[in-house]
Structure formats: structure tokens, C-alpha cells
Chains A and B, each alone.
Chain A
Amino acid sequence: MIRYIFQRLLGLLPVLLGITLLIFVLLRLIPGDPAVALMGERATPAQLDAFREQMGLNEPLPLQYLSFLGNLLRLDFGYSIVTGIPIVAEIGRRWAASFELATAALLFAIVVGIPAGVIAAVRKDKWVDNLAMTGSLIGVSMPVYWLGLLLIYLFAVNLGWLPPSGRLGISVGSNFQTFTGLYVLDAILQLNFTALIDVLAHLVLPAIALGTIPLAIVARLTRSAMLEVLSQDYIRTARAKGLLERWVVLKHALKNALLPVITIIGLQFGALLSSAILTEIIFSWPGIGSWVYKGILERDYPVVQGGVFFVSVTFVLINLLVDISYALFDPRIQYK
């Protein structure tokens, strides 16, 4: 097993190298002079020269790539052109917000998606099934940047039940301490329940908006996995033994149907981190996504590069974790 994990980690290296190469090449694709693109049009020729020297832009490309790699290894992503804040510091400050949002969205998808899929499978071709599957088709087709607007209009503007944006209300914000950056956890640790309710209220709408696509995917997959399992012989045997139908479905079928579902849930988590960019803008969520967006608007190149690199690497690492845990849970997989 350890050997298997080691091999998978080793297999990760070329992929990571590929990602750095891709990002490096993309950076060099900017039309015109990268120094001008990075420093802005107003920079003087002397400033540009100094900048080229400092960034090593006068070196040959392979050398530039090597020093780029070296910087990455030392976790040196450079500085934001606009604010001057180191990229690493900004990522450290913001990743928790994105992580919390993605986790909440995934929880929503699991809690609603798996039961919906099970019910749809048990009532195959009945109206519940058709409703769930139509719903999931619309769910995957609805962009988060539309669903988010609809949710804000309905629940924040019209009904006034939930806050439309941000992570924390003003009244709570002043006496709320953060340690981990995960506000839900922070509120629980401090036993501050007014803050907890406020934090959760801020989390609901973005989590639903972001979680809808994975919800639809989880529901569909659970349904098809359940249908396959329910047609197996051992289910017939269980029924023949006179077991309660509920027992057969939940204990005998669902347990076996969940394996592919768990895989897809893990993979969705990585995908969520990238679609969180859009969700964070809609709900003014102070995570990695809204920071990259600001970087895009201000053409702040190091910010975009650092953000994209961070999300890509997280994505690849999470996928690897999923693969390994899949091997742990499924005894049929051989670690060769």
C-alpha cells in the first residue's frame, strides 16, 4: 500500500512539471513586451530596463524557466503589482474562505444529492424519478452566475431572509476573533453562537449556488449506481429472505453503490475550487476567486499567475488523494 502511494506521488511530479511549464508558456504568450504588460504603459524606459534585469527577462528562455521553477520551490510567487503584497501572504490569508465555501457547497450536494438519487432509483420511471432527473438536468445546465443572482433576488432582496454578500455581519464583525480563518470553526471554538448563526446565514446562499452543479451530478450518479446494484443477484436474495425493503435498499444496496459516488464527490471538490471564482464575485466572498478576479480587472499578472497555480496544484493534489483513498476503500483494487 505504502509502495502504491509512493508510486502515485512519484507519478505526480511530471504532471506538476507540466503545469508549471504550461503556466510559464502562457505567461510568455502575452502579446508585446512582458515588461510593459507587467509594469503598465506609464513605466519609463529606465524602469522597464531595471524591471527586466530584476525579473531576469534578459536571460534565455530555458534559464528563465529554471529560475521560475526555483522560485516556485521556495514558494516565492512574487508580489502583486498593484498592492505590493507578496502573493504567498495573500493566498495564506484567503484560502480558508474559499475552502470553507467549497466544503459547505459539497456538503449541500451530498446531503441532498444522495437521498435524491436513492429515491429516484427506487421509484424508477415514476414521477419522483422524472422530477429528480429533470431537476438535475436543469441543475447542471444552470450557470452559477445566474443561479446566484436568482438566489440573491429571491432570498436577500425580496424576502430579506438571508444576507446577500460577505462572510460576516457588521454588528458581529467587531468582536469576532479569527484563528483558523474558517469562520464556522472559529465561532464554534469561541462558543460564540450569535456569530455562528451569522456566519452560517452568510454561507447558505453561496453554498447553494456553488453546490447545485455537484448536487445534480451526485444525484444522477447515485441513481445509476443504485440501479445497477439493485439488479444484482444478492439483492434478490436479500429480498427473498424477507428483509424489509428499506433495509435492503439502505444497507445492502446503498453501501455498494456509494463507491463511485465517493470518487466523483472528491473530484468535484477540486472542480469547485475553480468555479468558486464566479461564486465569490457574486457574493463578494473574500477568497482566492475574488482576488484573482481583481487581478484580472487590474491586469495584475503575478496575482493571476499565483492564483491559477495555487488552484491547479490544489486540484491535482485533491484528485490524487481521492485516488489513493479509493484504493483504500475498495479491496478489489490491486496496488501494482
Chain B
Amino acid sequence: MASTKIWLLRLRSSQRLSLSVQMMWVGIVITLLFVLVALFAPTLQAWGWLQNPMTTLTNPIHEPPSAAHWFGTSRQGYDVFSRTLFGTRAALQVVVLATALSLVVGVPLGMLSGYLGGRLDRLLLFLMDTIYTLPGLLLSVTLAFVVGRGVLNAAIALSIAYVPQYYRVVRNHTVSVKTELFIEAAQAMGASTWTVLSRYLFLNVIQSVPVLFTLNAADAVLVLGGLGFLGLGLPEQTPEWGMDLRQALDALPTGIWWTALFPGLALTSLVVGLSLVGEGLNEFVNPLLRRE
């Protein structure tokens, strides 16, 4: 609780600080807007304000934006406005799941590896470094190809690139914290490994995790779109920006711009929002990085 208070205090005093902390508020607003859209898209649809993103038959094909279809319709007769809004749901769902997954795997592994050391530590370090050396997009594409389509599958494919990041940060933190006096005291009192890890180490080694979380989320939105563009990721009919952009590519030579413009605009805005939040958080979790 005390730490929350300190955070809030820092948050307040930071308003005078740097540009990127100010920009963080812009990022938070953008991100919240997308969260709201994701939450309320089904409600809007239930009220009849938004078309079902899977409906095709009753719509004209490739119609430019109009009062009936704000963002026009696609080649399959999808309502682009509805697809774009519902795409937010897919993006946030997968991205939150993927980052949570990499957190759940990476943080405990990092703590164990750093705390126990020895052969386990070396093995895990080697494994994680190998994964880390490879470009994330390539890894995710390979894994997505192997595991097939689906929300959980896509999340797994995305998370493989992020696990090593959490692992490394937490492991290095653990290695430096475990020599502190309070850990030794706990060990001397006969605390089990589990108690030391969960009660004394955990909160001390996860400060950098929120920053990683938001920055990875921004990246994950891009990679998920990339998977969709490659025909991987989510099931065929699901409204997802990347896949819709792939469809838009085929229609582009005939001058149909609306199917390409809107999903991409939504995707880019969400990434900008998340990046702003991540960079702002970074400045205040790691004040040393702050430039004058």
C-alpha cells in the first residue's frame, strides 16, 4: 500500500517534469479509449448501432464510406467500421493474454534462476539468451505456424519473444537483492525457499516489470497484426486488423482505400498510445534514465 502512495505522489509531482511524462497522460487517454471500445462494442451491436462484424450477405460489396457504412464495406461485404471496432477486442484480448503469459512464465523462472544459481541458472540463461538473440517476429511466426490459429495459440506465439525479457530483468534483480541483509535474516530464521521468494524477494524484484509490460504490449499489437497479415494468428472470420489489411492489399490496385486506411489507423493509434504509456512509466520507474 505504501508503495502505491509513493507512486501516486510521484505521479503528481511529475506533472512539472519532462515531456514524456506529460505525454504519458495522452497515452493513457488513448489506451483507455481503446479499452472502452473493446468493452462496449458488443453492447453497441446489441443496441443496433453497430453491425455484426461477421455479417456479409445483406451488404453491398466494396462500397465507399457512406452514412449507412461509415468506413465503407469490404470485398466480402463486411462493414469496415464494425470490423475496425471489433478488431480492438481481438487485439487487446490476445495482447493482454500474451503479456500476462510471458510474465507468469518469465518472472518465476527469473526469480528461481537468480536465487538458486548453479546449474539451473546456467541452463536457463543459455536457453533464454538463445531465444533473445533471435528476432521476435521470426520466432512468433514460426511458433504460430506450428501451433495453428486461435486466441490462446496466438498469445503463446507472441509470448515466446517476451519471456526472456522478463526473465533477464527479474533474474539480474534477484541476483543483486539476494545478498541483502534482510534475505539473509529470513534464511537464518529458517524460512523456506518458497517463503523467501514469495514474501521477501518478489516485491523487490518486479519494479521494472510494468514498464516492460506496456512496451511489450505495444510491440505485441504490431506482431499480432503481422501474424494476421501472414494468415496466421486468429481464426479466419474473427475481426482482426492484420488479416483485414491483407485482404485490403488485394483490393488496393482498383483504388479501394477505405478497407486499408481505417484498420491500420486504429492499430497505429493503439500502438502509439501504449508506447507513450510505456515510455512515461519508464522515466519514472528508472529516474536515472531521465535526461536533463
**Residues of A that sit less than 8 Å from B by CB:** 14-15, 18-19, 21-23, 26-27, 29-31, 137-138, 140-143, 145-146, 149-150, 152-153, 156-158, 164, 224, 227, 231, 270-271, 273-275, 277-278, 281-282, 292-293, 296-297, 304, 308, 311-312, 315-316, 319
Closest A-chain residue to B259, C-beta based?
Answer: A149
A26 lies within 8 A of B146 (CB): yes
A146 lies within 8 A of B230 (CB): no
A141 lies within 8 A of B230 (CB): no
- Which of B131, B141, B263 is within 8 Å of A277, CB to CB? B141
Which one of B41-49, B177-185, B248-256 is at the interface?
A: B248-256
A143 lies within 8 A of B267 (CB): yes
- Which of B145, B253, B275, B292 is within 8 Å of A140, CB to CB? B275
Q: Mind listing 28 A-B residue pairs with CB under 8 Å?
A: A18-B126, A18-B127, A21-B130, A27-B146, A137-B272, A137-B275, A141-B222, A141-B272, A143-B222, A143-B264, A143-B271, A149-B249, A152-B253, A153-B255, A153-B257, A153-B260, A274-B135, A275-B137, A277-B138, A277-B141, A278-B229, A281-B230, A296-B141, A304-B145, A308-B138, A311-B135, A312-B135, A316-B133
With a cutoff of 8 Å between Cβ atoms, the chain B residues found around residue A141 in the complex are 218, 222, 268, 271-272, 275
Residues of B in contact (CB 8 Å), total: 46
Asked if B50 is at the interface (CB within 8 A of a chain A CB), the reply is: no
- Distance (Å) between the CB of A167 and the closest chain B CB? 18
Counting chain A CB atoms within 10 Å of each CB, which of B126, B142, B268 scores highest?
Answer: B142
A271 lies within 8 A of B147 (CB): no
- Which of A164, A281, A312 is within 8 Å of B253, CB to CB? A164
B260 lies within 8 A of A150 (CB): yes
Asked if B242 is at the interface (CB within 8 A of a chain A CB), the reply is: yes
- Distance (Å) between the CB of A256 and the closest chain B CB? 18
B148 lies within 8 A of A31 (CB): yes
With a cutoff of 8 Å between Cβ atoms, the chain B residues found around residue A142 in the complex are 264, 268, 271
- Which of B138, B246, B264, B291 is within 8 Å of A312, CB to CB? B138
**Extra 20 A-B pairs, beta carbons < 8 Å, given A142-B268, A143-B242:** A19-B130, A19-B134, A22-B130, A26-B142, A26-B143, A29-B146, A31-B147, A138-B272, A143-B226, A143-B267, A145-B226, A149-B248, A149-B249, A149-B260, A152-B252, A157-B253, A231-B292, A275-B137, A278-B226, A308-B141
Contact of A296 with B232 at beta-carbon distance under 8 Å, contacts A19-B134, A141-B272, A149-B245 already known:
yes
- Which of A30, A275, A293 is within 8 Å of B146, CB to CB? A30
Grouping DSSP codes into helix (H, G, I), strand (E, B) and loop, the A interface class, with mixed when no group exceeds half, is helix
B147 lies within 8 A of A29 (CB): yes
Asked if B235 is at the interface (CB within 8 A of a chain A CB), the reply is: no
With a cutoff of 8 Å between Cβ atoms, the chain B residues found around residue A311 in the complex are 135, 138
Asked if B231 is at the interface (CB within 8 A of a chain A CB), the reply is: yes
With a cutoff of 8 Å between Cβ atoms, the chain A residues found around residue B236 in the complex are none
A18 lies within 8 A of B229 (CB): no
Please name the 6 residue pairs, one residue from A and one from B, whose CB atoms are nearest each other, closest first.
Answer: A18-B130, A146-B264, A274-B135, A141-B271, A149-B260, A274-B138
